[in-house]
Amino acid sequence: MERMNVLICGGTGCTSSKSDLIEQEFTRLLQEKGLEKEVKVVKTGCFGLCQKGPIVAIHPDRVFYCQVKVEDVSEIVNEHIYKGRRVERLEMHDVDEATQEKVFNIDKIRFYAKQKRIALRNCGVINPEDINEYIARDGYMALGKALTEMTPAEVVDEIKKSGLRGRGGGGFPTGLKWQFAAKEVNDQKYVICNADEGDPGAFMDRSILEGDPHSVIEAMAIAGYGYIYSRAEYPIAVERLNIAIGQARELGLLGKNIFSTDFSFDLELRLGAGAFVCGEETALIASIEGKRGMPMPKPPFPAQKGVWGKPTIINNVETFANVAQIINNGADWFKSIGTEKSSGTKVFALGGKVVNTGLVEVPMGTTLREVIYEIGGGCPNNKRFKAVQTGGPSGGCLTEKDLDSPIDFDTLVAKGSMMGSGGMIVMDEDNCMVDIARFYMDFIVDESCGKCTPCRVGTKRLLEMLTDICEGRGTMETIDELEKLCYTIKSTALCGLGQTAPNPVLSTLRFFRDEYEAHVKEKRCPAKVCKALLSYSIDPTKCKKCSLCAKNCPVQAISGVPGVEPFKIDTSKCIKCGACMTSCHFNAVELR
């Protein structure tokens, strides 16, 4: 029996930072010291705090080491594992605001203290490539219960009663979707797990597949017969899914007569090309069938006529990750978490201008302030918070006055944003909101399938107008035309991607119209981001006449006599590269 476990993050982020080499080094050194029977090395899924990776956790000591390098392993083995002394310089910690003392207790570190993990419950805890570790944490108990103690109708009723809503974007009641498919008279029905959503929030779906693939497999078995549709760019998730499916088949948890019942269920993994539009369910179905991923008009809905013309349930990874817990613990347990209309928890991919980036799972109803400041640590370098984009590229921006708003499906929509699949990007005073809208629109244009004119042509025209504004060619008429076109696209586009595509533009126009007007009236970017509207100058009172700026200018746009006269910038020659500002040690170069 091992006295200690060394858990090493094997998620995509930490793997790219050589966590696999860290695992190998731990194994080698423990064998060298004869400790391999006392200490077990386990490769897990994502711990969530991606910014601090690679992460190594030591249990039962509950010590998290962050930003571990291969060369640090020897010190951890010699000091902590062999001598029982923690390596404080690597240990994850917070600072107590009152005493300014370091806090090492992992349960009191703000990033984890406010979270409640349901969908992510096993990520960073178990080896995702060992089905026995999943079973040891009550894995497949829900499937056994559903097949031997409940009727199909009771399973659907329990999911309906729980209030679970789709975590992929629309928030449609999951139990109701299952009920629609159940009522269809057909000998063959399908279940699809959508693991191909392309916005930043899809990071958490990948992390669940990498860290806890059996939670999705079990939930799909509870729901019916199906496919897992994943993007090929997720190699670790794909590999672990294939391993998990093989292990489940080997133990009789997939295949024929599961749990000695007449229920048979199997899974097939289909790889997509990573198109954002395949987050839309009819486009995903088309891709599974070998067609180009393009949306179809509805009705009929997939629950009536889906893949291969059969009734089909489609849910995303995070939605399925909640199902087994609902069956095991009951609908009332799940409904007691969150708000009246938005039960349970939600996973967010927290990123942008925030101290702690990574995966965050919180109860519905948690405020934006709690997530951004208490869990995320606020904006770095004491910068002023400006906005937060929720819902991915098709979401909207919320401002400081919205920080105390509860996070749930209806509140976010009412404020002009959306839950989406869980992207949450924080922006500070250095972000230009017009440029932010242009950034998201550029993504939408690139990902549009091109089937309907409003999305194919309309979003491209929006991008052109936003570019004109950012580059100083915009007018007040441009802003009016921009806003009008947004509403036209929302009301005429075929699918959810096109209908929500204008959201970033509309929300930034609503809250930051003054920035748009500064771009067109004053030809000025208040955040000093839009390159075409910037100008560099040298303050003669601060210039030390050292000539460093002139020496580093790639186009000889700076003139002056060293030691004699202040230097000047010829704006007609300046390419606005910023080399002069970088090279000046006296803050004499100004950006306007």
Output the domain CATH number for residue 367.
3.10.20.600
Does the pLDDT at position 197 exceed 60? no
Mean pLDDT of 139-167: 95
* b/e map 545-584, b = 16+ CB within 10 Å: ebbbbbeebeeebbebeeeeeebbbeeeebeeeebbbebb
Q: Which of 335, 362, 378 is the last residue of a domain?
A: 335
Residues 327 and 354 in one domain: no
Does the pLDDT at position 496 exceed 90? no
Residues 322 and 466 in one domain: no
How would residue 495 be classed by pLDDT, with cut points 50, 70 and 90? confident
Kindly state the percentage of the chain with pLDDT values over 90. 70
153, containing H or E segment: helix 152-162
Q: Domain containing 463: what range?
A: 433-521
Q: What is the CATH number of the domain that holds 559?
A: 3.30.70.20
Residues 396 and 490 in one domain: no
Considering its fold, how many domains does the chain have in total?
Answer: 5
Q: Compute the distance between CA of residue 448 and CA of residue 198 in angstroms, rounded to an integer.
A: 12
Q: Around 161, how many Cα atoms within 13 Å sit in the side-chain half-sphere? A: 13
In a domain, 574, yes or no: yes
Q: Are the C-beta atoms of residues 530 and 430 closer than 8 Å to each other?
A: no
pLDDT reported for residue 251: 96
pLDDT reported for residue 153: 93
pLDDT reported for residue 199: 52
Q: Compute the distance between CA of residue 470 and CA of residue 520 in angstroms, rounded to an integer.
A: 9
Mean pLDDT of 198-224: 83
In a domain, 126, yes or no: no
| Nearest Cα to Cα of residue 205 among 392, 41, 17, 437 | 392
In a domain, 123, yes or no: no
Residues 141 and 213 in one domain: yes
pLDDT reported for residue 98: 73
Residues 152 and 229 in one domain: yes
Residues 437 and 423 in one domain: no
Does the pLDDT at position 486 exceed 80? yes
pLDDT digits over 173-186, tens only? Answer: 999 999 999 888 87
Does the pLDDT at position 333 exceed 90? yes
pLDDT digits over 465-483, tens only? Answer: 999 999 999 999 999 999 9
Mean pLDDT of 510-523: 95
Q: Compute the distance between CA of residue 556 and CA of residue 558 in angstroms, rounded to an integer.
A: 6
Report the predicted TM-score, pTM, of the whole model to 2 decimal places.
Answer: 0.89
Backbone angles phi, psi at 389, to 5 degrees: -100, 120
In a domain, 211, yes or no: yes
Residues 424 and 437 in one domain: no
| Higher-scoring residue by pLDDT: 185, 435 | 435
Does the pLDDT at position 339 exceed 80? yes
Q: Which of 335, 369, 398 is the last residue of a domain?
A: 335
Does the pLDDT at position 553 exceed 60? yes
Q: Which of 291, 315, 335 is the last residue of a domain?
A: 335
Q: Compute the mean pLDDT over every residue in the chain, rounded to the nearest whole number.
A: 91
Which structure tokens are listed for 478? Answer: 């441009």
How would residue 9 be classed by pLDDT, with cut points 50, 70 and 90? very high
Q: What is the CATH number of the domain that holds 31?
A: 3.40.30.10
C-alpha to C-alpha distances, 590 to 54, 521, 534, 579, nearest whole angstrom: 39, 22, 10, 12
In a domain, 437, yes or no: yes
Q: What is the CATH number of the domain that holds 316?
A: 3.40.50.11540
Q: Compute the distance between CA of residue 520 and CA of residue 534 in angstroms, rounded to an integer.
A: 13
Residues 194 and 166 in one domain: yes
Q: Are the C-beta atoms of residues 174 and 159 closer than 8 Å to each other?
A: yes
First-to-final CA distance of the chain: 66
Mean pLDDT of 27-40: 93
Mean pLDDT of 430-435: 96
Residues 386 and 464 in one domain: no
Residues 105 and 240 in one domain: no
Mean pLDDT of 236-246: 92
How would residue 432 be classed by pLDDT, with cut points 50, 70 and 90? very high
| Nearest Cα to Cα of residue 568 among 590, 305, 334, 585 | 590
Residues 136 and 95 in one domain: no
In a domain, 117, yes or no: no
Does the pLDDT at position 2 exceed 80? no
How would residue 107 be classed by pLDDT, with cut points 50, 70 and 90? confident
Residues 279 and 408 in one domain: no
Q: Compute the distance between CA of residue 228 and CA of residue 194 in angstroms, rounded to an integer.
A: 7
pLDDT reported for residue 232: 67
Mean pLDDT of 203-214: 88
Q: What is the CATH number of the domain that holds 506?
A: 1.20.1440.230
The CA angle 61-66-70, to the nearest 5 degrees, is: 100
Does the pLDDT at position 200 exceed 60? no
